[in-house]
Homo-oligomer: A and B are copies of this chain.
Amino acid sequence: MAPYVTEFDLYEPQNADDRELPIQKIAVVGSGSWGTALARIAALNAAEKKGFDHEVRLWVREREIPGQGLLTDVINSTHMNHRYLPDVPLPHNLVAVSDLVNVVKNATLIVLVVPHQFLTPVLDELSKPGVLAVGARAISAIKGVEVAGDQIHTFPWLIEQKLGIPCSALGGANIAMEVAQSEFCETTIGVPSKDDAALWHAVFDSPMFRVHPIEDVSGVSLSGALKNVVALAAGFVDGMGYGGNTKAAILRIGLLEMAAFTKEFFPSSSSLTFSHHSAGVADLITTSFGGRNRKCAEAFIKTGKTFAQLEHELLKGQKLQGVATAEETYQFLLARERTEGYPLFTKVYKISFEGMDPKSLFDDL
């Protein structure tokens, strides 16, 4: 056994038969690229492993596809999500459903993977009496944080507050299309208890998608949000034409700021989440070399356009995650009078919104 595997990583889910556990039923709320990729893995596992209801339901916002009928019908007949995960066959036990209440009916394991801005209406619906099954648990694969003044919360925290059920967090070096094509990768799940670890490990773990449960919900959540701010800095470096040394230095400093920020404001989190796990260092690397935050930040430097313009041109007006998080994080640090403790985050904000010279990124780091 490799000496670096921690005890918690060694957790082996108990055989459901031995424990006479109730059958678990999985629902996936959100059918973008990442939601569909996760739903595909969960459905493959539900079909193969003991202890799961065979059918996995996927929430799809219904619309008419010109000439083809309703989107749910198209997905359920072609077993493809053409728009968000083209050319990837989906298992037949994955069923697209448009009614949210119906999606989560009897579900004991609910995967939340809607865009940030849709979370509140989804939670409003799920929190109505009788909608959720008794003993249900949730996991959030939503990137971002919720900031209001000097308060900051993770999505799993919000979900627990609103639904009154335990919520885990999933994050890692996981570009959706590569996961869907079964390329080897890893992910981290931050869990509130060993039972959550067992169940969510069983839902997602497979030979090419290795799941490592750790007891750090906040760390996994914050890493998934803050990595996008560092990826903007990486894109600035690319845009200025600097090489591998500079980019690696920015990643290193960024990773330390991510861990320090999380430790300061979520003291129960662990810095190991950032230094040792896929949700930390590995996700940061992937995002800073391949993601769209990096790409738009490079364009920001090279074209001189604002992020608002770039979002309009490159993302059809969708808000770039890193830019939103950079702004929220900066406002939060300002409210807490702690900007000077996080020079990289602060400069990413000022370069993005206040016209600071990008070359000053390297001062006083």
Contacts and interface: CB of A to CB of B under 8 A. Distances in A.
A3 interface: yes
A337 interface: no
A8 to B, nearest CB: 15
Contacts of A186: 245, 249, 252-253
Main secondary structure of the interface of A (DSSP, over half): helix
Nearest to A250: B184
Interface string A70-95: 00000000000000000000000000
A114 interface: no
A185 B341 contact: no
Contacts of A175: 243-245
B290 A244 contact: yes
A332 interface: no
B264 A252 contact: no
Nearest to A259: B4
Interface residues of A, number: 50
A4 B173 contact: no
Contacts of A259: 4
Interface string A1-41: 11110000000000000000000000000000000000000
A237 to B, nearest CB: 8
16 contacts: A1-B340, A1-B341, A2-B257, A2-B260, A3-B263, A4-B259, A175-B245, A183-B242, A184-B246, A185-B248, A186-B245, A208-B362, A244-B290, A247-B286, A248-B282, A248-B285
